[in-house]
Amino acid sequence: QVQLVESGGGLVQAGGSLRLSCVTSGRTFSSYAMGWFRQAPGKEREFVAAISWSGGNIYYADSVKGRFTISRDNAKNTVYLQMNSLKPEDTAVYSCAASRLGFNAPYYEYEYHYWGQGTQVTVSS
């Protein structure tokens, strides 16, 4: 069983930055693609960013491209999401997910097999 635990969320003013972390249990982290999704109140969960097992494939949602950066450290079983130039519309619960489709940077929720509980990010105007 794979467990994912997010941290790093909080309250920040518009224009500020946060770095989210997601630590994954298990010895097979390096074989998984990892993704970040978010869900704002009253909205469906949406894709934010994904990274393949090697870091060679990375994909961002258009809404965060140029502001957010996904990265991973396989030695630490951790994936990161650096969020800069935050906007109030970035307010959401951010969740990380692991996919056995390791060579890809999966976009769709159904391509992910394990999910974390999420961490709240609130951006004030």
User: What pLDDT digit, counting tens, does each position of 59-112 carry?
Assistant: 999 999 999 999 999 999 999 999 999 999 999 999 999 999 888 999 999 999
- What mean pLDDT do residues 20-28 have? 90
Q: HSE (CB half, 13 Å, CA atoms) of 26? A: 13
The per-residue pLDDT for 1 is: 80
Contact partners, residue 88, CB within 8 Å, separation at least 6: 14, 123, 124, 125
Report d(CA 111, CA 125) in Å as an integer. 34
Alpha carbon of residue 25 to chain centroid: 16
For residues 59 and 50, the answer to whether their CB atoms sit within 8 Å is: yes
